[in-house]
Every structure is written in C-alpha cells, then in structure tokens.
Amino acid sequence: MNILLLDDEYLALNLLEGYLQQLIEQGRSLNLVAKAKHPLQALEILEKHDVDIIFLDIQMPNLSGVNLLRSLPKKPVAVFTTAYNEYAVEAFGLDVVDYLVKPIAFERFLQAFNKATTAVQARVKAFPAPDSQALPQSHTKSSFLSIVADGKLMKIAHTDILFCEGAREYVIVHTTQGKVMTLERMKRMEEMLPTPDFVRVHKSYIVSSSKVKSLDGAMLNVAGQMIPVSRELRDEVVKRIFG
C-alpha cells in the first residue's frame, strides 16, 4: 500500500513518518512513497507514482489541501490533517475518510489509517484489475452495481437505479431510495451497467430504460425527473428505449 505525506511543516511530516514506521515494525505492508512539503511537489509525485492513501494538510502556501484534492482526476483515499477544525464539513464533502486535528496522537492516527486501508480495499474489490482469463463480459454481468461511497463498498440493485448523473470526477447514482455519490467517471459507469437496460443519453447522463416514461422534445421523463438528451444521441435513444 503506497502512502504520500503532505504538510508544509517538517515536524508534522516527521511525526506522521514516525507513526508509519511503527506500523511497519508491527508487520503492516505499506510503503512511504514520499514526504512532500509543498502542494506542487505533491502533484508531481502523484503524476509519477500510484498512491493509495494521502495524508495532507489543509492550509498550505499557493494551493490548499482542499483545492489540491479537488484538482486530481484520480484521487487517492484521503485523510486531512490540520490545526483547525473549521474545515470539517468541506473536507467530508470531498469524501475524505477522516479528519485529524493537530496535535495528532498515535491512537487517533491509527484509527484514521485503518479507515483509509478499509476504503482502499473496498476500491480494489469494486474495481479489480482486468483478468485475461475472465469470462466474456456478457457472462459476467450481475444484477447489481458495486461502487465505493463514504469509504464503504456498496451494492445497488439495477432495478433500483433511475439514472446516473456525471458531476466532474464524481458520479451521482439516483435510485428509488435516494442519491449515492461515488468517485468514478461516466465512461466506467457505462461499462459497468448492462445494455440495453441502461442507455447513455447525454455526456452527463445514463438512464434506466425501464424507468423512462416519455420523451418530450429533447427531455426524457425518468420517474418524474426531466433528463436532457444530446442532439447527436437522440435517434439512437429513441431506437433503444422506445423501439
């Protein structure tokens, strides 16, 4: 498991490194990729290395930890560290797994590390590496969607999904029970959902064919919610959904 530490204070970096070393001595399988003191340095490291977990400070020169995390197309599991607790709501809005307020005790660090490890393992289970020996895709489709949200691996039955909405690097899955946000791209979501049960109708929307009630001009009525249809996709949408 690869870990990156980012903080503009050497004392904080050294403290976290010491905590990680204790875990290594206890037999934990982990690798400290780097310690970064500047956000731009961290961005360079993230471009060159696969990082599973990042511990990062919020208040840093030039680029805050919040904005750095927002800028990443592929986010590691994140834990914020800060001397202030006023950013907690904004931090959890970015789906970070924990929020540590300095000074950080080892017991509190360990709790956050365990939560981050669980989130990484959930991602791996949800999106395993391609297997050349796997069965053809048509034989492996399940009746549910597996996604990671709020640090947990979740199952959503296909029959409960109304539509999926792209929101930058996130996807909001609208279901009969409510909304679930996951760190994913629409292209990947389109690959995971079976056809013809689900149809891409717009660059930002995938709808459940069975939940579509009507098409009015360029708007689909999906369970009472109006979803736009791209002009270039309209003919294909009509063919696939209305036959």
Q: Supply the pLDDT for residue 128.
A: 63
Do 6 and 113 lie in one domain? The reply is: yes
- The answer as to whether 132 is a domain residue is no
Determine the average pLDDT of the residues in 105-131: 84
State the pTM of this model: 0.53
Weakest mean pLDDT among 20-29, 42-51, 117-126, 139-148: 139-148
- What's the N-to-C CA distance of the chain in angstroms? 49
Q: How far apart are CA 243 and CA 129, in angstroms?
A: 36
Instruction: Report yes or no: 205 and 163 within 8 Å, Cβ to Cβ.
Output: yes
**Residues 154 and 220 both lie in one domain:** yes
Q: Please compute the mean of the pLDDT values over residues 184-202 and round it to a whole number.
A: 89
Same domain, 6 and 117: yes
CATH number of the domain encompassing residue 82: 3.40.50.2300
For residue 212, give its domain range: 141-242
CATH at 194: 2.40.50.1020
Structure confidence at residue 114 (pLDDT): 94
Beta carbons of 127 and 109 less than 8 angstroms apart:
no
| Higher per-residue confidence, 243 vs 210 | 210
pLDDT band at 117 (very low <50, low <70, confident <90, very high): very high
Average pLDDT, the chain: 86
In a domain, 131, yes or no: no
Amino acid symbol at 77: V
- The total number of structural domains in the chain stands at 2
Shared-domain flag, residues 183 and 208: yes
Mean pLDDT, range 189-215, rounded to an integer: 93
Which pLDDT score is estimated for 18? 96
Q: Is residue 227 domain-resident?
A: yes
pLDDT confidence of residue 94: 65
DSSP state of 105: P
pLDDT tens digits along 63-95: 788 888 888 878 899 999 988 766 555 555 567
- At residue 139, the pLDDT reads 38
- Evaluate whether residue 85 is within a structural domain: yes
Asked whether residue 133 is domain-assigned, the answer is no
Residue 97 and residue 159 in one domain: no
Q: Give the pLDDT band of residue 162 (cuts 50, 70, 90).
A: very high
Q: Which residues contact 232 (CB under 8 A, 6 or more apart)?
A: none
Residues facing 79 on adjacent strands = 55, 98
Both 11 and 105 in a single domain? yes
Cα distance between residue 78 and residue 92, in whole Å: 10
* Nearest-angstrom CA–CA distance, 34 and 38: 12
What's the pLDDT at 55?
96
